[in-house]
């Protein structure tokens, strides 16, 4: 295989070209002066807690979302007040690895600017919620102190790059993580707008072209990259736009199988939008990694839909053009054919909680953080406890792809100190939950998410407390079954690969899905539409009971519901799951 330089940006997207036939977001990007817009003016406008519409859109590329507290939206309207505007800021942490010093800074910034909490996400990073406009610059500058930022955490660009955490495989993890970080650094936008707006850096002389890869219109939509190290599929590689599956032989990283075209997002009542699992299209040696990132991203950059935004993800480009055509185009840009995919096997997409020993003898403790929310409550001082651990910890932290955290790389002699702190802050029993709860995830949803149609993070723990007696009655309390909930069909907790999923349709109403693959290999299928808690619990009682009685030895719940004919199978790689 030959190596190539980054493909030149598609000139048809340049400002000089007519944009009138393209969607409004394309015009906005093209006219934004590489994401500067009027964000600085908006930030200094004292009349409102919000920013103007176009800046709100552009700020997403800087990892920031304007939101308002939906719990008090109606009340504010009645009082003729503007909505309670605040901002969500998402940090870019490739592979979710951070040092104790970085943790302490995040903790400090969360206490100061983020309503005394942090939120771990399903893509291994942190979000600050409830940040007021005036606090955005101090927040960004605080992050810079520990070499963190929020660049490209949202927007039409390469989003946070994921990497399996695999604490047991220390050497391979270190190697793959370094490559994930390299890919992230390579693929993020290069505009200096971020430094100018958030750090007050001088404009200086512009390097032209300012975005050698993206051009003025960036990607048609978000683009997600992930690295996975079998046998764990914790990052749900089949849900990534571009996934790299590490192929390891005799303890050595040989290269990666390449998977393209995954995505969860769908829009309510819009059957032309659908979740899709990625297709594995071949194998590349490690040295071809960055050229492959360029080749795949450039195909989507140049052929993705720039008119219909809901149809602009890579999965639709692939289905429109055909997988063979897309693969040939990627190979032509790479200047070589991909080798045949190499064998690999996944066993789970969940986290293994508790203590494990790495192949280098160091200890790792994965702590279950329910739905990723890190705060202090009367029951457990999670924010305080993790801060104290960060003060003594000499290794790293790894954010898991399931919204939890691993205290990593602990010298065995330092383990007792960590154990003492876990106990002291009441965190030692967070892992003592039903296996279903430990395999649960819920997206943020209300009150901050503008798109939420129903509760998720605030509701799933309560619903699980009603499901757990059913599990116990059927002897299933220790049976890992994945359950995921989202407040709308967008799929932020990757629900469509869960064995049980609930996606919000209206307050208190959900679609119920069954039959995802235990290691993320199969989409689930809708079982009940737009139902409330009563119907959900009734269905679970019946079907979990059947599972307990009728399952075969070792049979997973997701496999059982298909074998038993409760839902039909969504065949490998296929899309529609309604
Ligand atoms: Fe997401 C939009 C939260 C992972 C698919 N997502 C949003 C927004 C920003 C709502 C908005 O646009 O106004 C949510 C902010 C809520 C809040 O108040 O914080 C939001 N998404 C999240 C997070 C925080 C969920 C969580 O509980 O952890 C996750 C942040 C990940 C990160 O660190 O980058 C998150 N979102 C995902 C995932 C899962 C993944 O990437 O592994 C998906 C499905 C995968 C995919 O992209 O197909 C996902 N989010 C979406 C979509 C649907 C995209 C689509 O193709 O249609 C939207 C809506 C949109 O983009 O228009 C969305
Ligand atoms: Fe918001 Fe929907 Fe994503 Fe949940 S799935 S965070 S409700 S956009």
User: Above 80 in pLDDT, residue 3?
Assistant: no
From the list 482, 402, 401, the residue with the least C-alpha distance to 434 is: 482
Kindly state the DSSP code that residue 103 receives in the 8-state scheme. Answer: H
For residue range 246-283, what is the model confidence (pLDDT) as tens digits? Answer: 999 999 999 999 999 999 999 888 888 999 999 999 99
Tally the domains of the chain: 2
The answer as to whether 517 is a domain residue is yes
Mean pLDDT on 393-413: 97
Q: Can 222 be counted among the known catalytic residues?
A: yes
* Together in a domain, 417 and 530: no
pTM, to two decimals: 0.96
- Ligand 2 touching residue 492 (CB < 6 A): yes
* Together in a domain, 464 and 400: no
User: Above 60 in pLDDT, residue 8?
Assistant: no
Q: Catalytic residue among 154, 163, 399, 492, which?
A: 492
For residue range 162-210, what is the model confidence (pLDDT) as tens digits? Answer: 999 988 888 999 999 999 999 999 999 999 999 999 999 886 777 778 9
* Together in a domain, 418 and 469: no
Q: If pLDDT is split at 50, 70 and 90, which confidence band does 574 have? A: low
The percent of residues in the chain predicted with pLDDT above 90, rounded, is: 90
**How far, in Å, is the centroid of ligand 2 from the Cα of 291?**
33
From the list 302, 400, 284, 421, the residue with the least C-alpha distance to 351 is: 400
**How far, in Å, is the centroid of ligand 1 from the Cα of 342?**
31
Hey, is 234 helix, strand or coil?
A: coil
What are the two backbone dihedrals, phi and then psi, of residue 19, each rounded to the nearest 5 degrees? -110, 0
The answer as to whether 534 is a domain residue is yes
The answer as to whether 363 is a domain residue is yes
User: Above 70 in pLDDT, residue 5?
Assistant: no
pLDDT at 15: 41
The answer as to whether 404 is a domain residue is yes
The answer as to whether 30 is a domain residue is no
pLDDT at 23: 85
* Together in a domain, 446 and 400: no
For residue range 228-250, what is the model confidence (pLDDT) as tens digits? Answer: 999 999 999 999 999 999 999 99
pLDDT at 167: 85
Mark which of 370, 404, 424 sits at the end of a domain: 424
Instruction: Give 321's Cβ-side CA count (13 Å radius).
Output: 22
The answer as to whether 452 is a domain residue is yes
The answer as to whether 289 is a domain residue is no
User: Above 70 in pLDDT, residue 4?
Assistant: no
- Ligand 1 touching residue 65 (CB < 6 A): yes
Protein residue with its CA nearest to atom 2 in ligand 2: 488
The DSSP bridge pattern shows strands 354-357 and 363-367 to be antiparallel
- Ligand 2 touching residue 449 (CB < 6 A): yes
* Together in a domain, 417 and 462: no
Mean pLDDT on 212-240: 97
* Together in a domain, 402 and 517: no
The chain-wide mean pLDDT, for the chain, equals 94
pLDDT at 572: 52
* Together in a domain, 472 and 415: no
Q: Can 154 be counted among the known catalytic residues?
A: no
- Ligand 2 touching residue 452 (CB < 6 A): yes
* Together in a domain, 460 and 402: no
From the list 472, 448, 478, 569, the residue with the least C-alpha distance to 517 is: 569
For residue range 448-487, what is the model confidence (pLDDT) as tens digits? Answer: 999 999 999 999 999 999 999 999 999 999 999 999 999 9
Q: Can 449 be counted among the known catalytic residues?
A: yes
Q: Catalytic residue among 154, 163, 399, 449, which?
A: 449
End-to-end CA, the chain: 42
Q: If pLDDT is split at 50, 70 and 90, which confidence band does 318 have? A: very high
Q: Can 250 be counted among the known catalytic residues?
A: no
Atom of ligand 2 nearest to the CA of 454: 7
Token readout for 564 is 């038993």
β-strand partners of 225: 242
State the CATH number of the domain containing residue 358. 3.90.480.10
Domain limits at 472? 435-563
Q: Which of 60-64, 170-174, 394-398, 536-540 has the lowest mean pLDDT?
A: 170-174
Q: Can 443 be counted among the known catalytic residues?
A: yes
* Together in a domain, 378 and 494: no
- Ligand 1 touching residue 270 (CB < 6 A): no
Atom of ligand 1 nearest to the CA of 239: 45
Protein residue with its CA nearest to atom 3 in ligand 2: 492
Q: Could you give the C-alpha distances from 207 to 16, 185, 203, 210, 211, in angstroms and in order?
A: 19, 18, 11, 6, 9
CA dist., res. 260 & res. 258, Å (int): 7
Atom of ligand 1 nearest to the CA of 162: 42
* Together in a domain, 450 and 362: no
Q: Can 90 be counted among the known catalytic residues?
A: yes
State the CATH number of the domain containing residue 497. 3.30.413.10
Q: If pLDDT is split at 50, 70 and 90, which confidence band does 2 have? A: very low
Q: Can 163 be counted among the known catalytic residues?
A: no
CA dist., res. 392 & res. 238, Å (int): 37
CA dist., res. 442 & res. 21, Å (int): 38
* Together in a domain, 414 and 461: no
The answer as to whether 510 is a domain residue is yes
Mark which of 365, 392, 424 sits at the end of a domain: 424
* Together in a domain, 469 and 512: yes
For residue range 60-105, what is the model confidence (pLDDT) as tens digits? Answer: 999 999 999 999 999 999 999 999 999 999 999 999 999 999 999 9
Sign of the CA dihedral with 402 first, then 237, 67, and 48 last: positive
Mark which of 380, 405, 424 sits at the end of a domain: 424
């Amino acid at each position: 295989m030959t190596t190539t330089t980054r493909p030149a940006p598609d000139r048809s997207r340049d400002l000089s070209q007519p944009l009138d036939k393209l969607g409004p977001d394309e015009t906005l990007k093209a006219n934004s002066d590489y994401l500067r817009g009027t964000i600085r003016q908006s930030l200094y406008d004292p009349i409102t807690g919000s920013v103007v519409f176009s800046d709100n859109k552009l700020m997403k590329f800087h990892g920031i979302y304007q939101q308002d507290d939906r719990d008090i939206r109606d009340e504010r309207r009645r009082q003729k007040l503007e909505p309670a505007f605040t901002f969500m800021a998402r940090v870019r942490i490739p592979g979710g690895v951070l040092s104790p010093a970085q943790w302490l800074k995040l903790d400090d910034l969360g206490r100061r600017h983020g309503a005394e909490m942090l939120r771990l996400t399903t893509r291994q990073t942190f979000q600050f919620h409830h940040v007021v406009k005036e606090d955005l610059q101090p927040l960004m500058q605080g992050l810079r102190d520990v070499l963190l930022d929020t660049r490209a955490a949202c927007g039409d660009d390469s989003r946070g790059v994921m990497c399996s955490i695999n604490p047991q495989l220390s050497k391979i993890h270190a190697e793959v993580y370094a490559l994930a970080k390299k890919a992230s650094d390579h693929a993020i936008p290069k505009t200096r707008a971020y430094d100018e707006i958030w750090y007050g850096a001088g404009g200086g002389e512009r390097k032209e072209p300012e975005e050698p890869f993206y051009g003025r219109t960036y990607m048609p939509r978000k683009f997600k990259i992930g690295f996975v190290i079998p046998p764990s599929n914790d990052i749900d590689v089949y849900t990534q736009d571009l996934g790299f599956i590490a192929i390891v032989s005799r303890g050595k990283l040989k290269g990666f199988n390449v998977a393209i075209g995954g995505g969860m997002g769908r829009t309510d009542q819009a059957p032309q939008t659908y979740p899709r699992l990625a297709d594995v299209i071949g194998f590349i040696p490690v040295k071809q990694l960055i050229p492959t990132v360029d080749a795949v991203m450039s195909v989507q950059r140049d052929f993705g839909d720039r008119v219909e935004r809901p149809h602009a993800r890579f999965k639709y480009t692939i289905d429109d053009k055909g997988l063979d055509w897309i693969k040939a185009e990627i190979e032509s840009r790479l200047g070589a054919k991909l080798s045949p995919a190499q064998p690999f096997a996944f066993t789970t997409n969940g986290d293994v909680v508790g203590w494990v020993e790495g192949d280098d003898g160091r200890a790792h403790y994965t702590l279950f953080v329910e739905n990723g929310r890190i705060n202090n409550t009367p029951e457990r001082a999670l924010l305080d406890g993790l801060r104290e651990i960060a003060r003594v910890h000499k290794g790293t932290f790894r954010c898991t792809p399931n919204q939890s955290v691993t205290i990593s790389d602990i010298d065995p002699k330092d383990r007792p100190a960590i154990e003492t702190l876990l106990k002291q802050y009441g965190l030692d029993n967070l892992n003592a939950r039903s296996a279903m709860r430990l395999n649960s995830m819920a997206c943020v949803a209300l009150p901050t998410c503008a798109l939420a149609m129903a509760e998720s993070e605030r509701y799933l723990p309560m619903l699980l407390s009603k499901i757990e007696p059913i599990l116990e009655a059927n002897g299933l309390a220790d049976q890992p079954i994945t359950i995921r909930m989202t407040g709308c069909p967008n799929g932020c907790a990757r629900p469509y690969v869960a064995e049980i999923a609930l996606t919000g349709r209206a307050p208190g109403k959900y679609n119920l899905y069954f039959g995802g693959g235990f290691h993320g290999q199969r989409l689930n299928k809708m079982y009940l539409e737009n139902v409330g808690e009563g119907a959900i619990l009734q269905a679970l009682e019946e079907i979990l009971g059947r599972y307990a009685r009728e399952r075969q030895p070792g049979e997973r719940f997701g496999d059982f519901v298909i074998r038993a004919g409760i839902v039909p199978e969504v065949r490998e790689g296929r899309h529609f799951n309604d």
